[in-house]
Structure 1
């Protein structure tokens, strides 16, 4: 039995299968996931697990070089924006309208659904390399 890190077998396998530049999404409990995108549904109830809990666990296991978030987060959820910037200080970033983020989600390798119920806690992450280039 795995004794640390992500123990959700589906999520652990998907993270292990990421290649450089693959994208995936972490979203709230209501983010629509496009047909054909594999979903890791971790949502139990409103607020469980939180976006931050899921993001922290994933960042312990995945190298991220770039992320995209909805520009609406600046006004509607500045605390979460500060958390994301703190967690990914060296990653490139991009802000787009939420509608565009939804369109971009059609091309992610997989999506992780959290129980988060705050405004705009959705992010598309691009995998980096875990060794010096």
Structure 2
């Protein structure tokens, strides 16, 4: 018998279902453990414990299978995190266009997202919004 279950990549069925519904220019939020609940959008909570998984863990798994056209992040991320962390995010973002904007404006984009993936991350202002191509 051939095993039909997934063996690699994203294994969480809720994330797979969410990502499968995203179309051209739709957005999805990848957020930290303390990000507010938004009743108008679907939330997939994968937080296990403090720091596990991280926003970048999710992004790095999504990038090979999800066409990202743009990333949004709060501009406060740069001033509240050490350069090493800023560089790590930049490495994961690669050549994907990035827009940093005030946190207040970032949060105004959230209700228009198809869904939100809540992680265990504790990075200050490390939340991101991905827009599909």
- Using the size of structure 1 for normalisation, the TM-score is 0.88
8 A contact 2:14–2:44 mirrored in 1:
yes
1:90 to partner: Cα distance: 2.4
RMSD over equivalenced CA pairs, Å: 1.4
Match of 1:120 in 2: 125
Q: Distance in 1 between matches of 2:52 and 2:115?
A: 20
Match of 1:40 in 2: 44
The alignment of Structure 1 onto Structure 2 pairs a total of residues equal to 128
8 A contact 2:56–2:92 mirrored in 1:
no
Q: Which runs of 5+ in 1 are unaligned?
A: 129-133
- Using the size of structure 2 for normalisation, the TM-score is 0.88
Task: Please say which structure displays the higher CA radius of gyration.
Answer: 2
Match of 1:95 in 2: 100
Is 1:7 the equivalent of 2:2? no
Q: Distance in 1 between matches of 2:85 and 2:118?
A: 17
- Point out 4+ residue stretches in structure 1 off by more than 4 angstroms: none
Q: Which runs of 5+ in 2 are unaligned?
A: none
8 A contact 2:46–2:117 mirrored in 1:
yes
Match of 2:88 in 1: 83
Report which stretch shifted further, 31-40 or 107-116: 31-40
Structure 2 counterpart of 1:105, from 82, 107, 110: 110
1:89 to partner: Cα distance: 2.8
